[in-house]
Amino acid sequence: MKYGFIIDNRKCIGCHACTVACKSEHDVPVGVNRTWVKQIEKGEFPNTKRLFSVLRCNQCSDAPCVEICPVEALFNRDDGIVDFNSDRCIGCKACMQACPYDALYIDPESHTAAKCNYCAHRVDIGLEPACVNVCPEHAIISGDMENPESEISQLLAREQVTVRKPEKGTQPNVFYIDGDQASLNPTATEKSENYYCSTQSHGVGHFAKYAEKLSEGKDILDMARELRGEKLHQREVSFETGQNGKPKKSIEVLMDKALARRVYDTPDKGILWGWEVSAYILTKAIAAGTVLIAFLASVLNLGQATDSFFLTSILTALIFLTITGGLLVKDLDKPTRFAYILLRPQWNSWLVKGGYAITFYGGFLTLYLVAHQLNWQLIKELSLWGSAILAIIVAIYTAFLFAQAKGRDFWQSPLLPFHMLVHSLMAGASAILIISLVLDQEIAWIDLLEGSLAAVVIINMLILLFELTITHPTNDAKITVSMILTGRYSLKFWLIAVTIGNILPLIFLIIGFDYSGPIAGLMILIGIYYTEQIWIEAPQRIPLA
């Protein structure tokens, strides 16, 4: 048994009855949707048409939301339905990043994730989903796709169907008859703040001001541009002038190109992972990097590194690891359930693996301090080795977590683990140089550390170059790179991340002057934060639905 949906676009009239029925059935709050109808206008006057696409969870056979969920709040049922348990959800929003179809949302009342679950409670008692029952045109067909007698199975065998984003490999089980990529592909049309009959931006009755402008004789085309933000081209315009000298409504406006445009859609969810995630990556990098630097100094037998240096490195790592944990908990929409990651783990999720890595890492750091206090040399040595191994995992596990977020193409870069590791080394060395202002260290050791940091900065710039210039396989990733290099994030990237965070510190470290190391270190930490902020935010600007 395997349930699925067919959306027959030949029949859909865009009445939104499915959206209303879904909200009523599940008490879905205002502002979020489990099912919604996206409307696209396509063509050139007079040859135009409006497309309606019912969008919702695709009940994927290989659901990335299930794989990334750290607490098994999302799960595959035996009948193919992807269901969820809100009592387990911790509100980490990882499932929303993993879903390529923008199907999940955080319920503003329960603060847990939710989505279309095929009305599983109705299916269990032999009923069809609410949206199927209410559709006046029978444009939504549900049923067991593995039953050859079912309507959906027969339609799949007889009709040509399409799915959304097949390249993601999720094996979606929502199929579209007469589906149009202009509607199914979210990047085929631009987002707009002003949709057809929308009151989200202007409030109820906002059309009145446009009627007032019309009575004043304002050009209808200019009004259309102002209302929808569309790039229309006036090819032929004819006016009939009334007795008062004002133009009447007789006007012919043709579109410059036969482009599709979005006229109605679900509200944008905005940035799901914000400054807390950027800050936690920085603090995590410092926590891992300081220990890696200490470990390398021990292995390479750099005698200039004093015992107080090792102790300070461990203490610094513990402090920033604690801050990292606090930021992680703060970013949860259900922070009181943070322990579920450890107590109810779903082992395929890198959130779980990272959570355990951070926990054991803190344990080994604490063991080192105890061994130092009790002068247990062998335990100190073993705990340093264990801490170093876990520091590498802590440094890079976020890259694998981002790779599980299949909804964000830019995060699928194979260079991201190296990006994270190099940032940890940079952050650790920078933190140590700043601490050296109050910690008595050999000059030769500081010089060696500054020279090593300069080399790592060069490696970091090469990695950034490769990340942004390698051939990106998807349009979403290319759009993200364009935003970073020449678009919305270009000033922040070139000025802060590159110049302040890499080029100037490298010059300071090479030239060398009083306090050049700590100054360069502070600039590098600022650069790492803004680099991670750009890497996290920019892909989230790409619409998924």
Model confidence over 94-130: pLDDT tens digits?
A: 999 999 999 999 999 999 999 999 999 999 999 999 9
Which pLDDT score, from 0 to 100, does residue 303 have? 59
Architecture of domain 3-188: 2-Layer Sandwich (3.30)
Which pLDDT score, from 0 to 100, does residue 195 have? 61
Residue 203 reports pLDDT greater than 70: no
Residue 215 reports pLDDT greater than 90: no
Query: What are the CA-CA distances from residue 414 to residues 241, 406, 459, 467, 476 (Å)?
Result: 64, 13, 16, 9, 16
- Higher-scoring residue by pLDDT: 266, 479: 479
Fold agreement (3-188, 275-540): no
Helix axes 443-469, 475-485, angle to 10 degrees: 130
Hey, what are 391's tokens? 């520091």
Q: Which residue has the tokens 């940035």?
A: 271
Closest CA to 182 of 265, 62, 113: 265
Query: What are the CA-CA distances from residue 343 to residues 68, 346, 526 (Å)?
Result: 16, 10, 35
21: pLDDT confidence band, cut at 50, 70 and 90? very high
Model confidence over 408-451: pLDDT tens digits?
A: 999 999 999 999 999 999 999 999 999 888 776 666 678 888 99
Which pLDDT score, from 0 to 100, does residue 254 have? 36
Least confident of 211-225, 278-292, 400-414, 492-506: 211-225
Beta partners for residue 51, in sequence order: 40
Please answer whether residues 76 and 87 qualify as being in contact, where contact means their C-beta atoms are separated by less than 8 angstroms: no
- Higher-scoring residue by pLDDT: 43, 213: 43
Antiparallel, parallel or unpaired: β 113-114 and 105-106: antiparallel
Stretch 212-219: mean pLDDT, rounded? 48
Q: Which residue has the tokens 């007079």?
A: 46
Task: Read off the DSSP letter of residue 267.
Answer: P
Q: How far apart are alpha carbons 341 and 334 in whole angstroms?
A: 12
Stretch 185-207: mean pLDDT, rounded? 59
Q: Which residue has the tokens 């008062």?
A: 244
Antiparallel, parallel or unpaired: β 3-8 and 174-177: parallel
Least confident of 213-222, 259-268, 391-400, 472-481: 213-222
% of the chain with per-residue pLDDT over 70 = 86
Which pLDDT score, from 0 to 100, does residue 246 have? 46
- Higher-scoring residue by pLDDT: 254, 383: 383
| Average pLDDT of the residues of the chain | 86
**Quick one: residue 319, left, alpha or beta (phi over 0 = left, psi -120 to 50 = alpha)?**
alpha
Please tell me the CATH superfamily of domain 275-540, with its number: Formate dehydrogenase/DMSO reductase domain (1.20.1630.10)
Q: Which residue has the tokens 């032999």?
A: 126
What are φ and ψ of residue 259, in 5° steps? -100, 155
Which pLDDT score, from 0 to 100, does residue 420 have? 97
Beta partners for residue 80, in sequence order: none
Please answer whether residues 392 and 361 qualify as being in contact, where contact means their C-beta atoms are separated by less than 8 angstroms: no
241: pLDDT confidence band, cut at 50, 70 and 90? very low
Which pLDDT score, from 0 to 100, does residue 80 have? 93
Which pLDDT score, from 0 to 100, does residue 310 have? 84
Model confidence over 335-383: pLDDT tens digits?
A: 999 999 999 999 999 999 999 999 999 999 999 999 989 989 899 999 9
Domain ranges for the chain: 3-188, 275-540
42: pLDDT confidence band, cut at 50, 70 and 90? confident
Which pLDDT score, from 0 to 100, does residue 213 have? 47
Hey, what are 240's tokens? 């009939």
Beta partners for residue 174, in sequence order: 5
541: pLDDT confidence band, cut at 50, 70 and 90? very high
Q: How far apart are alpha carbons 202 and 75 in whole angstroms?
A: 40
Query: What are the CA-CA distances from residue 539 to residues 274, 332, 380, 412 (Å)?
Result: 12, 20, 43, 11
Closest CA to 289 of 469, 492, 430, 119: 430
